[in-house]
């Protein structure tokens, strides 16, 4: 089985008022197993559309998406849904959780829904507790989603994204609704998860967030214009040097 996400000649077109809007145009890139990649670009450049299309949440107009050996465009809707449930995790700027469930119940729900995983409910429950402890939210497990802070809720969303032990996490502006301290804490957690082997593809407009990624792709007018490789971000990495290098690169691109 392939150990990467491979995108080839990806196109996404919307028809609006009988007019064709080509949002993505022949996009090509790969994400290796265990890599952390950020997508940056101007507003309207196709960042979120790229993430939604690559993850199977939106259908491609043309091109191929090979997800660790599986051709997503060749799968049925149910098969794609199963891949998303069992092999992908999602973290969004808007922290979608069910209001009638506690934090803990929201976290375990995807694992209970999976028909492919062989874990018992006892094992799932234990893993959920382990994740919450790791992310520092054990004390809010029984709280409703409106009884926790934004940072705690986003940590819970990360726990939920990890409950089925996915190959990759797709994150769309995961720190966009957080203050600076919470943003830094969430990125520290994502970096730790990545160092443990989970691939991450995230969309962001925040240079501080992108600077903590291994590689940054710059999308403009629906195509990948350039990329920069900063290397793995370890706990001892020079944060300011990474941010300076990224800032210079973005300025050269007209950011």
Measured between alpha carbons, how far is residue 145 from residues 60, 140, 173 in Å?
34, 9, 20
Q: Parse the chain into domains and list their residue ranges.
A: 4-252
| Exposed / middle / buried, residue 113 (Cβ in 10 Å: 0-12, 13-18, 19+) | exposed
Mean pLDDT, to the nearest integer, of 129-140? 94
**Helical packing angle, 103-113 and 121-134, nearest 10°:** 130
* Residue 233, φ and ψ in degrees, nearest 5: -100, 105
Helix axes 150-162, 121-134, angle to 10 degrees: 140
Q: What is the CATH number of domain 4-252?
A: 3.40.50.300
Query: Quick one: pLDDT band at residue 32, thresholds 50, 70, 90?
Result: very high
* pLDDT for residue 21: 84
Contact assessment for residue 87 and residue 53, using Cβ atoms and an 8 Å cutoff: no
Residue 30 forms beta bridges with which residues?
Answer: 6
Please, which pLDDT band fits residue 2 given cuts at 50, 70 and 90?
Answer: low
């Amino acid at each position: 089985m392939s150990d990467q996400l491979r995108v080839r000649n990806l196109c996404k077109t919307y028809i609006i008022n009988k007019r064709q809007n080509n949002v993505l145009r022949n996009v090509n890139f790969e994400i290796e197993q265990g890599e952390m990649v950020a997508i940056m670009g101007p507003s309207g450049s196709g960042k979120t559309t790229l993430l939604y299309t690559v993850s199977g949440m939106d259908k491609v107009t043309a091109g191929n998406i090979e997800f660790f050996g599986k051709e997503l465009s060749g799968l049925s809707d149910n098969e794609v849904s199963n891949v998303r449930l069992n092999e992908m995790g999602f973290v969004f700027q808007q922290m979608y959780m069910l209001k009638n469930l506690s934090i803990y119940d929201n976290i375990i729900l995807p694992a209970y829904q999976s028909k492919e995983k062989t874990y018992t409910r006892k094992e799932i429950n234990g893993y959920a507790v382990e994740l919450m402890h790791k992310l520092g939210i054990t004390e809010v497990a029984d709280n409703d989603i409106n009884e926790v802070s934004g940072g705690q809720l986003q940590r819970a969303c990360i726990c939920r994204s990890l409950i089925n032990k996915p190959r990759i996490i797709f994150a769309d502006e995961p720190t966009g609704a957080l203050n600076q301290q919470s943003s830094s804490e969430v990125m520290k957690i994502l970096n730790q998860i990545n160092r443990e082997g989970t691939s991450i593809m995230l969309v962001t407009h925040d240079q501080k967030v992108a600077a903590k990624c291994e590689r940054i792709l710059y999308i403009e007018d629906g195509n990948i214009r350039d990329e920069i490789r900063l290397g793995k971000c370890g706990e001892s990495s020079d944060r300011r040097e990474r941010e300076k290098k990224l800032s210079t690169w973005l300025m050269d691109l007209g950011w």
